[in-house]
Amino acid sequence: MLEHEYLKLLADETRLSCTLLIFQQKKMCVCELTEALQLSQPKISRHLALLRQSGVLTTERKGQWVYYQLAIDLPLWFCDLLQQLITSDALSKSYHLDTTKLNSANVCCD
């Protein structure tokens, strides 16, 4: 995938939030993301499918749950960008709000 295609994927707020949370948490299922982002399951699933189809995410099934994680063959610059976005002032408020919701949630797949 070309560099600008990665950036296009992150231009959507939902995809960016999902990607950042998955990057930080290593693996997440849809129910965790719906709790953290306070969005509907179909909306989260649609964005995760796009990220998976583009090669940014991979899936792993554990019982009835499907966990999403970053693909291992992503360019180093992309992972560096995600780390910088997590620590940047520009996204710190929304990212920390998402992680706070995630940490306080009782999700079904735990």
Output the six-digit token pair for 86.
């997590």
Give the integer Cα–Cα distance in Å for 72 and 68. Answer: 12
How large is the average pLDDT for residues 27-49?
94
Helix (H) or strand (E) holding 59: strand 57-62
pLDDT recorded at residue 13: 92
Give the integer Cα–Cα distance in Å for 64 and 71. Answer: 21
pLDDT of 36 > 80? The answer is: yes
Check whether domain 3-89 has CATH 1.10.10.10, yes or no: yes
pLDDT of 110 > 60? The answer is: no
Q: Is the pTM of this model over 0.95?
A: no
Give the integer Cα–Cα distance in Å for 54 and 48. Answer: 10
Please tell me the chain's helix, strand, coil percentages from 3-state DSSP, rounded to the nearest 5.
65, 15, 25
In the chain, where are the structural domains located?
3-89
Among 19, 33, 17, 26, residue whose Cα is nearest residue 94: 17
